[in-house]
Amino acid sequence: PAPPGFTSAFTTETPMLGVLGSDLQAPRPARASLGLSQALGSSATLHLVGTVRRTEFLMRRSDVNLAVAPASLEADSDRPIYGRLEKIGALVVPEPGSNRRFHAYDVILGLSSDGWSDYRGITVAFERGSGGRFDLFASYTLSSTEDNLVGARSGDHTAELAPRVETVSTSPWEHGTSDFDVPHKLSAGFRTRVSLLEGAELSATYRFQSGWAYTPGYRTGVDVNGDGSGSNDPAFVLPDAMSANLADAACLSTDVERIATRNVCRAPGLHSLDARLSIALFRFGEATGSLTLDLFNLLDVDLSIPDSALLLVEEGSPLQEVAGTTRIPTRVNPTFGQQTRPLQPGRMLRVGFTLGPP
């Protein structure tokens, strides 16, 4: 539909296409795992497990209708800019059609199987359980996941387009820490009988995992390089960002005066705690009637994603185009790295009754 205040004479529609590459095929994973277990006494066991996994032929998207050569360069970073940029308030977008090879179409998504993912992890676990008065378990995993799947967690197909930026390393910018990388994961729990209540048991489980990785960038809708995606551009880290007292400035220290590395920053770790109290009320023949109280998310974990916009576009300043370069007026976002919208599922109490074998 036409935007409010405009008639159909001022609107155009260019279709988007999807083109299947000749190499498109099903993903192919290869996985190897080696574990060692050592008994500690009669009721405890120590485990050590190492795992590696390589997945190939994952589907990736690319825009095959993007202009062959950039029209200009970004003034600060020499980032290639495709088409002619125009500024609408705090948004920067390419002029319609200026960044396209074939003007009858908008984005032409080329679907190919050149995606890959590498996982390496080692787990140390301890368990003590004999069905007696006290049982205990603990597990810690140290891992790393790397891939070339940009924007895989976003749910936005345009965020999966590689941003076409140069890096100081020999590897492409998109080769790096995965959106699904969780380097640290810990879980521990226990079960014990409560001496004050006959037939009562108390159990609890604590979990911790590293927060999600994210890339310092711009607000959604700011298309710095004019490739048609307002969700995939990493920010150029200005020296001002290190002196702005940002919540998560430490992750930027290795990228000053260059394009931010993919997923160089990370959200705070997630802590959760669940508990259960089970009380045997009566026996009916060979069955036992039990009351259970389950308490979920006692720590009220916050699942919100930090503000990943390192730079904001100045609304009142125009674009500056000089000698084949384009300067976008920006300022450091003071809320970078802070939690934006709380996503706390809340605590929950569940009361249950069971009648069954003891």
Mean pLDDT of 321-347: 87
pLDDT digits (tens, 9 = 90+) for 3-18: 555 554 445 578 888 8
The pLDDT of residue 12: 55
pLDDT digits (tens, 9 = 90+) for 28-87: 999 999 999 999 988 899 999 999 999 999 999 999 999 999 999 999 889 999 999 999
Question: E-strand spans in 219-284?
Answer: 265-266, 270-284
Give the integer Cα–Cα distance in Å for 84 and 72. Answer: 8
pLDDT digits (tens, 9 = 90+) for 308-333: 999 999 998 999 998 889 999 999 99
Give the integer Cα–Cα distance in Å for 303 and 347. Answer: 13
Selected residue with higher pLDDT from 97 and 185? 185
H, E, C per residue of 153-207: CCCCHHHHCCCCCCCCCCCCCCCEECCCCCCEEEEEEEEEEECCCCCEEEEEEEE
pTM of the complete model: 0.86
| Single-letter residue type at 171 | S
**At 345, is the pLDDT very low, low, confident or very high (cuts 50, 70, 90)?**
confident
Give the integer Cα–Cα distance in Å for 321 and 79. Answer: 14
pLDDT digits (tens, 9 = 90+) for 119-134: 999 999 999 987 678 8
pLDDT digits (tens, 9 = 90+) for 227-268: 999 999 999 998 877 776 676 778 888 888 899 999 999 999
131: left (phi over 0), alpha (psi -120 to 50) or beta: left
Residue 344: Cβ-neighbour burial (10 angstroms; 0-12, 13-18, 19+): exposed
User: Between β-strands 134-147 and 184-194, what pairing exists: parallel, antiparallel or unpaired?
Assistant: antiparallel
Query: In this structure, what DSSP letter does residue 129 have?
Result: -
Helix (H, G, I), strand (E, B), or coil: what is residue 9?
helix
Residue 28 CB partners (closer than 8 Å, separation 6+): 55, 56, 57
The pLDDT of residue 10: 45
From the list 232, 182, 185, the residue with the least C-alpha distance to 212 is 182
Give the integer Cα–Cα distance in Å for 84 and 326. Answer: 9
344: its two tokens = 């706390």
CB 176 within 8 A of CB 144: no
Q: What count of other Cβ atoms lies within 10 Å of the Cβ of residue 21?
A: 15
Nearest 5°: the CA angle 340, 253, 185 is 60
Radius of gyration of the chain from Cα atoms?
Answer: 27
How far is the first Cα of the chain from the last one, in angstroms, to the nearest whole number? 65
User: Between β-strands 309-313 and 213-214, what pairing exists: parallel, antiparallel or unpaired?
Assistant: unpaired
The pLDDT of residue 54: 98
pLDDT digits (tens, 9 = 90+) for 139-158: 999 999 999 999 998 888 88
pLDDT digits (tens, 9 = 90+) for 190-233: 999 887 777 789 999 999 999 999 999 999 999 999 999 999 99
